[in-house]
């Protein structure tokens, strides 16, 4: 079956199911279908069908599963947002249109993804400027300094910066991977890198600590450092870089725990969210999240039958808890499996890509999606300290949604450059 028919068939299954989600939501809330509400599924179906048609014209050999998987995640997010906050759902639909338009524009203009290699340092500087801009000009929201506010618009520059830095990591390590991998000494059977080869690792470590200290956000710090470790491991095959990186991050996190109160509060609320002294204040959010998962059980309370509104900022940071409460463990697991399928597709694409830059770029972009999804789901379920990043394609947020569709566009460009991937699967 050709790529265009695979993609069309999957969308023909996913998009009608999203209509069923809207029907279920309307029946649960009012007992009847509201004719005016049909505009929501019609709009998001139209957006994805348009994207499918344009992609099949511009990139006929692009991976046929990436867009349907992103569509499934986005539709789940929109249905849950409709249940939680109709105004936010309407805004998210607008940003969905902007995100798909940006993705298609990128796919149309970027005829060869390898041309990005020529602008590696420009992209790196731009990414760092965006990342550090909130240190000087950012506004603190919910305890984290992640936002730039321009009049009525709020923009989270780290969302775009993660893509730019992933491109730089791929280009830099594709050129130097042999040099870094081959140099060094073997001590007790362990291949140790030269001190000068640790420069990029130490630089990323310092940058992650700056983010943790000044932006007060463990999630972004861990995400950017994790992306770099993933790319450098694939580039060199040296586990010592990963071990050294993890030890450095743990050392830095431990240091900031003792030096900065906001880090210490995050860790303490993670360790004991039901502490009577904090359960109505610092740990209230994570405590309500745990109650929501407990209430949902295996099959959930049903759409509009739970109380996710008790969780502060449930539409952004804690939308996974809303899924866990109303769709249960089965719904939460299905959502996690969609992310696993999307990441698995990205890694498969990296394996099939013929050039080093494309391989590492696919790994870096996939690491962005995989690590970000894991970090926020782990935080909401108390597997790790809570962070303030969003769940890709699902959480409310314009800058997040647009950036994720730009990332998807880059993966689509790489997939067509991978040659036999689309035809061989």
Q: Taking the alpha carbons of 8, 14, 16, 22 in that order, is the dihedral positive or negative?
A: negative
414 pLDDT above the threshold of 90: yes
What are the tens digits of pLDDT across the range 257-283? 787 777 788 888 888 899 888 888 888
- The pair of three-digit structure tokens given for residue 153, joined into one six-digit string: 């618009």
16 pLDDT above the threshold of 60: yes
- How far, in whole angstroms, is CA 305 from its chain's centroid? 28
Average pLDDT over residues 303-317: 89
Spatial contact of 292 and 322, defined as CB atoms under 8 Å apart: yes
Rounded distance, CA 354 to CA 218, Å?
A: 35
Closest CA to 21 of 92, 93, 83, 86: 83
pLDDT score for 424:
47
**Within a 10 A sphere around the Cβ of 284, how many other Cβ atoms?**
16
131 or 329, which is more confident? Answer: 329
131 or 283, which is more confident? Answer: 283
Spatial contact of 395 and 319, defined as CB atoms under 8 Å apart: yes
105 pLDDT above the threshold of 80: yes
Give counts: helices (H), strands (E), the chain.
16, 5
338 pLDDT above the threshold of 80: yes
Rounded distance, CA 413 to CA 405, Å?
A: 12
Closest CA to 298 of 338, 334, 337: 334
Rounded distance, CA 413 to CA 201, Å?
A: 28
8 or 84, which is more confident? Answer: 84
- Lowest model confidence (mean pLDDT) among 21-25, 303-307, 351-355: 21-25
Average pLDDT over residues 246-257: 81
Classify residue 176 as exposed, middle or buried by CB count within 10 Å of its CB (0-12, 13-18, 19+). middle
284 pLDDT above the threshold of 60: yes
Average pLDDT over residues 162-173: 89
Non-local CB neighbours of 42 within 8 Å, separated by 6+ positions? none
pLDDT score for 70:
95
pLDDT score for 124:
86
Q: How confident is the model at residue 295 (pLDDT cuts 50, 70, 90)?
A: very high
Non-local CB neighbours of 316 within 8 Å, separated by 6+ positions? 390, 395, 396, 397
Complete DSSP assignment for 371-410: HHHHHHHHHHTTSS----PPPTTTSS-HHHHHHHHHHHHH
- The pair of three-digit structure tokens given for residue 20, joined into one six-digit string: 């069923």
Rounded distance, CA 66 to CA 422, Å?
A: 11
pLDDT score for 251:
84
Average pLDDT over residues 185-199: 58
87 or 245, which is more confident? Answer: 87
High-pLDDT (> 70) share of the chain, %? 84
Q: How confident is the model at residue 27 (pLDDT cuts 50, 70, 90)?
A: confident
Rounded distance, CA 87 to CA 90, Å?
A: 5
What are the tens digits of pLDDT across the range 58-93? 998 889 999 999 999 999 999 999 999 999 999 999
Sheet holding 144-150, edge to edge: 139-141, 144-150, 153-155
Average pLDDT over residues 309-324: 92
Rounded distance, CA 399 to CA 253, Å?
A: 27
423 pLDDT above the threshold of 60: no
Average pLDDT, the chain: 84
The three-point CA angle 67-221-216 to 5° equals: 120
pLDDT score for 2:
59
Kindly report the pTM of this predicted structure: 0.90
Q: Taking the alpha carbons of 318, 323, 326, 332 in that order, is the dihedral positive or negative?
A: negative
Residues in the chain: 425
97 pLDDT above the threshold of 70: yes
pLDDT score for 335:
95
Rounded distance, CA 191 to CA 184, Å?
A: 7
Complete DSSP assignment for 303-323: TTSS-GGGSTTTTTTTHHHHH
Q: How confident is the model at residue 214 (pLDDT cuts 50, 70, 90)?
A: low
1 pLDDT above the threshold of 70: no
Rounded distance, CA 318 to CA 394, Å?
A: 10
Torsion region of 419: left, alpha or beta (phi above 0 gives left; psi -120 to 50 gives alpha): left
């Amino acid at each position: 079956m050709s790529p265009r028919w695979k993609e069309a068939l999957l969308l023909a299954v996913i998009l009608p199911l999203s209509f069923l989600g809207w029907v279920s939501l309307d029946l649960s809330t009012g007992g009847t279908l509201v004719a005016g509400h049909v505009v929501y599924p019609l709009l998001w179906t139209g957006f994805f069908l348009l994207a499918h048609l344009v992609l099949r014209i511009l990139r006929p050999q692009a991976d046929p599963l990436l867009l349907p998987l992103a569509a499934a995640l986005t539709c789940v997010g929109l249905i849950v947002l409709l249940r939680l906050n109709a105004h936010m759902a309407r805004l998210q639909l607008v940003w969905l249109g902007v995100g798909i338009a940006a993705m298609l524009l990128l796919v149309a203009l970027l005829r060869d993804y390898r041309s990005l290699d020529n602008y590696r340092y420009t992209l790196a500087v731009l990414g760092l400027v965006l990342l550090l801009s909130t240190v000087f000009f950012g506004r603190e929201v919910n305890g984290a300094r992640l936002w730039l506010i321009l009049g009525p618009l709020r923009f989270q520059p780290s969302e775009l910066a993660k893509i730019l830095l992933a491109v730089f990591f791929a280009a830099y390590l594709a050129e130097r991977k042999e040099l870094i991998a081959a140099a060094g000494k073997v001590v007790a059977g362990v291949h140790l890198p030269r001190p000068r080869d640790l420069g990029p690792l130490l630089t990323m470590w310092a940058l992650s600590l700056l983010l943790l200290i000044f932006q007060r956000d463990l999630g972004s710090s861990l995400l950017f450092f994790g992306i770099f470790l993933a790319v450098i491991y694939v580039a060199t095959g040296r586990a010592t870089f990963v071990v050294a990186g993890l030890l450095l991050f743990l050392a830095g996190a431990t240091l900031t725990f003792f030096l900065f109160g906001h880090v210490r509060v995050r860790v303490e609320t993670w360790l004991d969210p039901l502490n009577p002294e904090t359960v109505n204040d610092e740990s209230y959010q994570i405590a309500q999240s745990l109650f929501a998962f407990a209430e949902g059980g295996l099959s959930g309370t049903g759409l509009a039958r739970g109380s996710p509104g008790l969780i502060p900022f449930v539409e952004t940071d804690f939308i996974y808890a809303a899924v866990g409460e109303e769709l249960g463990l089965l719904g939460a697991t299905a959502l996690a499996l969609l992310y696993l399928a999307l990441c698995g597709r990205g890694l498969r694409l990296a394996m099939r890509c013929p050039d080093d830059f494309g391989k590492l770029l696919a790994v870096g972009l996939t690491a962005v999606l995989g690590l970000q999804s894991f970090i926020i789901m782990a935080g909401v379920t108390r597997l790790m300290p809570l962070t303030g990043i969003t769940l890709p394609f699902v959480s409310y947020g314009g800058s997040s949604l647009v950036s994720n569709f730009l990332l998807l566009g880059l993966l689509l460009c790489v997939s067509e450059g991978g040659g036999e991937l689309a035809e061989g699967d």
